[in-house]
C-alpha cells in the first residue's frame, strides 16, 4: 500500500469512527430527552399493591374497619374542630368498580348522640337505596338520590386506592402523569378521571406504594377545597394484595375521617339479592344531580354522619307574609326570613348552598323587584345555616355576624368558588359585627332589625337571634325550632326565653331556621 492510499484509508477509518461516536451520542441524548412512557408510573403503582394480574382479576373486594367521623364547620367555635366525633364500624363490599354496572353495599353502625344507628347503603348501577337508621327523621327504606349516590362513590374511591388503580388499569387513556413535591418528598402523580371526578394518586416510586389520594371539590362555605386521604401501615390482605391499615381523610388539615382497617378480601362471593332494590324505590338517574353530589361529596358525607343526610337540590321555596313586609321563606329543611325596609331588603339566614340562595333572590326579583338585598344576617357559622351567604355577598349585601365569627368569615368567604359558583374570589366583603355582650341594629324607617346574642347551650358560641322590632318577629335559627303543636318547653325554648329576657324584648311571633311560625302566646304557654 502506498503512503497516499494509507492516508486515504486512515482518514476513512477516523471519519467512520467519528460518525459512529456522534451517532451514539445523539442516540444517548435522544434517549435522555424522551419522556418516560406514561404507563411506567402506573405499572409501578400496580406492582406495589400486588401486580397487574392480581388487579386485573379483582372482580370484587370487601374491606372492614372502624374509626371516627368528624363534621367540618359544625364545631361550637368558628373554624374549630368537631369535639364530638362519631364512632363507626363498617364493611364495604364493591364489585364492577368504575363501570355502569357497579355494585356497592356498605353496612355501617354509627355511635350517635341519640344512640347506635345501623344502616345499609346499596348502589346497583345507577340506582341506590338506604335501609335502617340512616336519618334522624326520614323513614327508611328510601331511594338513594343521584347526588347521594355520587357522594358515596366519590368517598369510596378516595379511601380505596385499589379501586382507583383498577379504573386506571382498565382505562389508561383516562390517566395523566405528573410530578409533585409534598413535604420535601418527590412523588409521581397519577391523575385518574372517574365518573365522579378526578382522583390523584401520589406514588412513592422508591417503595412502589401510594402515600395519598387527593381531589378538589367545592365546600359551599369554604369554597374550593383539597380533600386528601393519607395511607399508612400497608399490609398484606386477602389474595396477597397490599392495602393500607390506616387511612385519614382531611380537608385544609382538618381531620374528617380516620379509620383502622381490619381486613381486605378479594373476589368474595357476593349474592345478587344483597344488592336488590325494590321496584317501588327505583327513581331513575339524574345526571345534573349526580354531578352536584360528586362536586361536593364531603358536604353530603358530613351531614349523613350527623344523621341529617342531604339529598336533592333543596331549592323549593314557599313564602308566607307573616307581617307587612316580613316574609317567612320555607320549602325545604332550612328556612330564612326576608324583611323589606325602605332602603333595601334584609335576609336572615342563608342556609345550605348557593343554589338555594339564588332561588330566594329569584323570588325577591319576582315579588319585590324594586329593591335589592342590603344585608344578610349570619345567625351562626355552621355550614348548613351559613353556606349560602356568598350569593348575597356577590349581589352587594353586607354581612352581619357575631363578633366571634368575623375572623372566620374573613378567612373563608373570599376563597375562590370556581368549582361551583363564581369564577374567583369575592370582589368585596363587608362584615358588620355584633358584640358578644351587646346588639347591632340595621336602622331603617320601616322594619328595623336588631340582632342579639342567643344562648345555644354550647351548640355554637357565635349564635345570635334576629328581631324585627315593629311587628315583634323573632328568628331563633336552630336553637329553637318553633312548633304550634308543642305542649311543653324544651331546652331550646328555655334558652330562647332566657335570651329574650336578657335582651328586654317581647316577641309576638317566633320563627326558626327549622319548624314553623308560632305565636308569642303559644310560646309562653309552653312554660305554664
- Please list the pLDDT of the chain residue by residue as tens digits (528 residues): 443 343 433 344 333 344 445 555 554 454 444 444 445 899 999 999 999 999 999 999 999 999 999 999 999 999 998 878 899 999 999 999 988 899 999 999 998 877 888 999 999 999 999 999 988 877 789 999 999 999 999 999 999 999 999 999 999 999 999 999 999 999 999 999 999 999 999 999 999 999 999 999 999 999 999 999 999 999 998 778 999 999 999 998 899 999 999 999 999 888 999 999 999 999 989 999 999 999 999 999 988 888 888 888 999 999 999 999 999 999 989 999 999 999 999 999 999 999 999 999 999 999 999 999 999 999 999 999 999 999 999 999 999 999 999 999 999 999 999 988 766 778 899 999 999 999 999 999 999 999 999 999 999 999 999 999 989 999 999 999 999 999 999 999 999 999 999 999 999 999 999 999 999 999 999 998
pTM of the model as a whole: 0.89
Cβ atoms of residues 259 and 247 within 8 Å: yes
Where does the chain hold its CATH 2.50.20.10 domain(s)? Answer: 41-305
The whole-number pLDDT of residue 423 equals: 66
Q: Tell me, what's the pLDDT at 26?
A: 54
- State whether CATH 2.50.20.10 applies to domain 41-305: yes
Q: CATH assignment of 318-525?
A: 3.60.15.10
Cα 236 to chain centroid distance, Å, stands at 31
pLDDT at 8: 38
Q: What pLDDT score does 191 carry?
A: 98
Residues of the chain with CATH 3.60.15.10: 318-525
**Looking at residue 33, what is its pLDDT?**
47
| Angle between helix 297-305 and helix 287-295 axes, rounded to 10 deg | 80
Sequence-ordered list of residues with C-beta below 8 angstroms from that of 198, at least 6 positions apart, any chain:
191, 192, 215, 216
What's the pLDDT score for residue 50? 94
- Helix ranges (DSSP H) in 353-467: 354-367, 383-386, 389-394, 406-412
- Nearby residues of 326 by Cβ (< 8 Å), 6 or more positions away: 337, 338, 339, 340, 447, 468, 471, 473
- C-alpha 246/C-alpha 234 separation (Å) is 8
Res 3: pLDDT? 33
Amino acid at each position: 500500500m502506498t503512503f497516499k492510499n494509507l492516508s486515504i484509508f486512515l482518514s476513512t477509518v477516523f471519519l467512520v469512527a467519528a460518525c459512529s461516536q456522534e451517532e451514539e451520542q445523539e442516540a444517548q441524548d435522544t434517549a435522555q430527552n424522551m419522556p418516560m412512557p406514561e404507563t411506567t408510573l402506573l405499572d409501578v403503582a400496580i406492582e406495589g399493591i400486588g401486580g397487574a394480574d392480581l388487579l386485573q382479576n379483582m372482580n370484587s373486594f370487601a374491606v372492614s374497619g372502624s374509626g371516627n367521623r368528624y363534621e367540618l364547620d359544625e364545631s361550637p367555635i368558628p373554624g374549630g374542630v368537631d369535639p364530638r366525633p362519631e364512632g363507626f364500624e363498617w364493611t364495604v363490599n364493591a364489585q364492577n368498580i368504575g363501570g355502569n354496572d357497579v355494585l356497592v353495599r356498605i353496612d355501617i353502625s354509627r355511635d350517635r348522640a341519640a344512640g347506635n344507628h345501623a344502616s345499609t347503603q346499596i348502589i346497583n348501577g345507577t340506582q341506590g337505596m338506604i335501609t335502617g337508621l340512616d336519618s334522624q327523621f326520614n323513614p327508611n327504606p328510601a331511594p338513594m338520590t343521584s347526588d347521594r349516590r355520587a357522594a358515596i362513590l366519590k368517598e369510596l374511591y378516595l379511601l380505596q386506592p385499589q379501586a382507583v388503580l383498577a379504573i386506571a388499569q382498565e382505562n389508561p387513556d383516562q390517566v395523566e402523569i405528573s410530578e409533585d413535591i409534598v413535604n420535601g418528598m418527590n412523588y409521581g402523580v397519577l391523575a385518574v378521571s372517574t365518573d365522579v371526578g378526578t382522583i390523584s394518586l401520589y406514588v412513592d416510586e422508591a417503595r412502589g406504594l401510594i402515600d395519598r389520594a387527593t381531589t378538589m371539590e367545592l365546600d359551599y362555605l369554604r369554597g374550593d377545597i383539597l380533600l386528601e386521604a393519607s395511607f399508612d401501615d400497608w399490609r398484606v390482605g386477602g389474595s396477597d394484595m397490599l392495602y393500607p391499615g390506616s387511612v385519614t381523610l382531611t380537608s385544609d388539615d382538618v381531620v374528617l375521617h380516620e379509620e383502622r382497617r381490619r381486613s381486605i378480601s378479594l373476589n368474595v362471593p357476593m349474592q345478587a339479592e344483597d344488592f336488590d332494590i325494590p321496584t317501588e324505590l327505583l327513581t331513575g338517574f339524574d345526571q345534573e344531580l349526580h354531578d352536584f353530589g360528586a362536586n361536593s361529596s364531603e358536604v353530603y358525607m358530613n351531614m349523613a354522619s350527623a344523621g341529617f343526610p342531604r339529598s336533592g337540590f333543596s331549592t323549593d321555596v314557599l313564602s308566607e307574609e307573616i307581617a307587612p313586609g316580613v316574609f317567612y321563606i320555607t320549602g325545604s329543611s332550612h328556612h330564612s326570613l326576608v324583611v323589606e325596609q325602605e332602603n333595601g331588603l334584609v335576609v336572615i339566614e342563608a342556609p345550605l348552598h348557593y343554589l338555594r340562595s339564588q332561588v330566594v333572590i329569584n323570588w325577591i326579583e319576582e315579588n319585590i323587584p324594586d329593591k335589592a338585598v342590603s344585608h344578610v344576617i349570619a345567625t351562626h357559622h355552621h355550614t348548613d345555616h351559613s353556606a349560602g351567604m356568598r350569593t348575597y355577598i356577590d349581589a352587594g349585601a353586607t354581612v352581619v355576624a357575631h363578633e366571634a365569627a368575623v375572623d372566620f368569615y374573613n378567612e373563608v368567604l373570599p376563597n375562590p368558588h370556581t368549582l361551583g359558583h363564581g369564577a374567583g374570589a369575592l370582589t368585596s366583603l363587608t362584615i358588620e359585627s355584633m358584640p358578644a355582650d351587646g346588639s347591632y341594629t340595621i336602622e331603617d324607617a320601616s322594619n328595623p332589625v336588631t340582632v342579639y346574642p342567643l344562648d345555644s347551650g354550647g351548640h355554637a358560641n357565635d349564635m345570635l337571634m334576629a328581631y324585627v322590632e315593629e311587628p315583634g318577629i323573632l328568628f331563633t335559627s336552630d336553637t329553637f325550632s318553633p312548633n304550634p303543636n308543642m305542649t311543653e318547653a324544651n331546652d331550646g325554648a328555655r334558652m330562647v326565653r332566657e335570651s329574650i329576657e336578657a335582651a328586654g324584648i317581647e316577641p309576638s311571633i317566633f320563627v326558626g331556621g327549622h319548624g314553623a311560625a308560632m305565636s308569642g302566646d303559644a310560646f309562653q304557654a309552653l312554660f305554664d
